[in-house]
Structure 1
Amino acid sequence: MTASAPPYDGRHLLADLHGCRAPLDNIGLVERALRDAARIAGATVLDLRLHHFGEGEGVTGIALLAESHISIHTWPEHGYAALDFFLCGRRHDIEGALAEVEDALKPADVQTRAIARGYGVTELVG
């Protein structure tokens, strides 16, 4: 990295949602959750791709963001959803994005792991 390169402050949040009471096979619900999460985060959706595996089956999807991505994979038969939020810049509300998805999917339990990513800064996740 050159001395003149601006710092890159990235945050990567992994979330496991267990005991979801919302219908995780509902592709419309999953799409709304991703779009709303991006909006709450203050991110710009460039594209949104979803795939439904069939009646009663899960949904996988990604919101491609100007600021990185939000992805989801659901297993309705287990009431489980796995999410991946990667956003650059402290101005983005990654916790608010997760809260929005939680509100949509109604999990009984949420487990998260935060990963600092970036260069040119000494403290990324606080």
Structure 2
Amino acid sequence: MNRSVHHSSGTHLLADLHEANRDALADPSFIEGLLKRAALAAGAHIVYSHFHPFGPGLGVTGVVLLAESHISIHTWPETGFAAVDIFMCGKAVPGRALACIRDGLAPTAVDVRDIPRGHGPSCDPK
């Protein structure tokens, strides 16, 4: 079988934020603004975003779709935890997005997994 080779690549960061600001984790407007600022800080281009609050004082799930891929978040304010997923290719810098999110949520600990995706030169989102 003859397969074509995928030549785009990117960086996928998976971050677990522990003991983050519980009020911020429960605020869908704050979370949406934070992820949009993070995307811009990374040099990414926002295509669309959608955020879903689970009720007063409860968590938020959301995604910012990017020309370069996405940033998503799931929050648990009751435990001060957030799971963040940042996948970017091209010239965008996912580490800058993560730094912005860390600054905004002020976790006391962060566990990050850095996963290279694909092979070859970086994708061009344009």
- Taking only the aligned residue pairs, the percentage that are identical comes to 49
Report if the CA contact (8 A) 2:22-2:78 is conserved.
Answer: no
SS of the residue 2:55 aligns to: coil
SS of the residue 1:57 aligns to: coil
Tell me the TM-score normalised to structure 1 length. 0.88
Corresponding residue for 2:28? 27
Misfit runs of 4+, over 2 Å: none
For structure 1, which segment, 111-120 or 57-66, has the greater mean C-alpha deviation from structure 2 after superposition? Answer: 111-120
Corresponding residue for 1:60? 61
Displacement of 1:18: 0.2
Corresponding residue for 1:16? 16
Tell me the TM-score normalised to structure 2 length. 0.88
Displacement of 1:21: 2.1
Unaligned runs of 5+ in 1: 122-126
| Matched letter for residue 83 of structure 1 | V
Inter-partner Cα distance in structure 1 for 2:89 and 2:118: 8
Alignment of 1:1-126 (within 5 A): 1=4, 7-23=7-23, 24-89=25-90, 91-120=91-120
Displacement of 1:93: 1.5
SS of the residue 2:78 aligns to: helix
Unaligned runs of 5+ in 2: 122-126
Count how many residue pairs are aligned between Structure 1 and Structure 2: 117
Inter-partner Cα distance in structure 2 for 1:43 and 1:96: 10
Report if the CA contact (8 A) 1:15-1:113 is conserved.
Answer: yes
Report if the CA contact (8 A) 1:67-1:88 is conserved.
Answer: yes
What is the root-mean-square deviation in Å for CA atoms of aligned residues? 1.4
